[in-house]
Amino acid sequence: MSIRELPFALAGLATRIGEVVSIEDWARWARIPHRKEPRALDGAEVKRVLQIDGKSWQPELFRDPAVVSALMGAAIERAGLEPGDIDAAIFVTCTPFELMLDQDPFRLLRAAGVPDDVVPWMHMAGCGGLARAAATAARLQAENVLLVAYTAVSPLMTGPGGEPNPIYQHNEVHPDRAILWASPGLFSDAAAAAVLRRSPREAGLSLYTRARLDPPVESPLVRFPGGGALHPPGFAEHTPLAAFGLVSEDVRRFYTQGMIDNHHRLLEARPDLLTSIKRLYTHQAGPALVKAFADQVQLPSELAPSNVRRLGNLVSPCTLVMLDDDLNEGRVEAGDEICVSVVGAGPERGAFVLRVTEDRPR
């Protein structure tokens, strides 16, 4: 796992989640068929599988790209900059508004007023994508990097009339069909934009790898096989493949071992890490996984917050949402150092340490 200096500080951050709905309400809407009985799963059954109480879920909001571009503008303003000051832009999503030709960053950068000569980097990535974005930033000569992460799960499962997408209810083709509904059940809507300002004197660190552990995890953890040249749209037999599926056993092993490896690598690079940082934001894959990792490495709750039980898995924006909440509540302030450690589909994993220079008005 390569470790690089990250010569930036966090200068501006803006995030947004959707309406928080209870898992019981979501289950009533989703109408997931019971596998052995002629009825839908009730809220208690869905909650027992997912172990979450609620989720961010607002399809009418998160199918609008303006939600993301507005956050980009807010982050730039909070950094005390103008859109023309941005000289690099990195995007992270697994739910683009348009699939092909990187149309999302073209649309979003123009809406935010960022000059057309700024080169966009589009990372089609899930929960571990923020580590990849930080590793990308560490290799750039840019002065002000705009980092954008967004996940719009609810529009993918919600039809034009507000009905649930049937491929998550009845699917006999997808390789993860037995538990296909769990991905939209666990994943939630969120978006975030951050500005990283070059600051070599306050440099943090970045580590990243695509290593699959030993013995290796062979699957990508999350699969969405439909929609590309292997399974092109327009053919009935390919339609059921255009859905997210969790490879549950591989997710559990990769999260636990990958997060522990991240942690050990961080401590090798920064032995004083746990006493020098204000917060350690871990990827919120699921309540049991998050707790098991924190218990195993003895992370105190005041150092490593969690929001997955209340909001579900916010995917790539999840750690930035927790940081934004802490900034708003004064738990993190200008001058504090924070750490983000994540794993995700690919598989990939990594972490970064960053100093916060944004000073929120009280």
CA 183 to chain centre: 14
Which of helix, strand or coil describes residue 206? strand
Query: Minimal CA–CA distance to 315: which of 188, 202, 137?
Result: 188
Closest CA to 307 of 328, 325, 330: 325
Phi, psi of 352, deg, nearest 5: -150, 155
CB 73 within 8 A of CB 113: yes
Fold of 2-231+238-356: Peroxisomal Thiolase; Chain A, domain 1 (3.40.47)
Q: What pLDDT is stored for residue 361 in this prediction?
A: 67
Ordered alpha helix ranges (H), the chain: 23-30, 43-50, 59-62, 66-78, 103-112, 129-138, 154-157, 182-186, 248-269, 273-276, 287-296, 308-311, 318-329
The DSSP letter of residue 178 is: G
d(CA 156, CA 59): 8
Q: How far separated are the first and last CA of the chain, in Å rounded?
A: 40
CA distances 129 to 25, 61, 111, 146, 208, Å, are 30, 23, 23, 15, 10
Burial of 43 (0-12, 13-18, 19+ CB in 10 A): middle
Tell me how far apart the alpha carbons of residues 43 and 31 are, in angstroms, rounded to a whole number: 10
Please list, in sequence order, all residues whose beta carbon lies within 8 angstroms of the beta carbon of residue 26, skipping any fewer than 6 positions away.
43, 46, 55, 57, 185
The answer to whether 85 and 117 have CB atoms below 8 angstroms apart is no
Helix axis angle, 287-296 to 248-269, nearest 10°: 30
Count of beta carbons in the 10 Å neighbourhood of residue 272 = 8
pLDDT in tens, the chain (362 residues): 889 999 999 999 999 999 999 999 999 999 999 988 999 999 999 999 999 999 999 999 999 999 999 999 999 999 999 999 999 999 999 999 999 999 999 999 999 999 999 999 999 999 999 999 999 999 999 999 999 999 999 999 999 999 999 999 999 999 999 899 999 999 999 999 999 999 999 999 999 999 999 899 999 999 999 999 999 999 999 999 999 999 999 999 999 999 999 999 999 999 999 999 999 999 999 999 999 999 999 999 899 999 999 999 999 999 999 999 999 999 999 999 999 999 999 999 999 999 999 987 65
Q: Is 154 within 8 Å of 62 (Cβ atoms)?
A: yes
Crossing angle, helix 66-78 and helix 103-112, to 10 degrees? 50
Residue 357, both tokens: 């220079």
Say what the pTM is: 0.96
Return the pLDDT at 239. Answer: 95
Tokens of 339: 């750490």
Assign 3 to helix, strand or coil: strand
- Per-residue model confidence (pLDDT) at position 35: 87
> Would strands 204-209 and 190-198 be described as parallel, antiparallel, or unpaired?
unpaired
Specify the DSSP class assigned to residue 272: T
Token look-up 């998550």 returns: 168
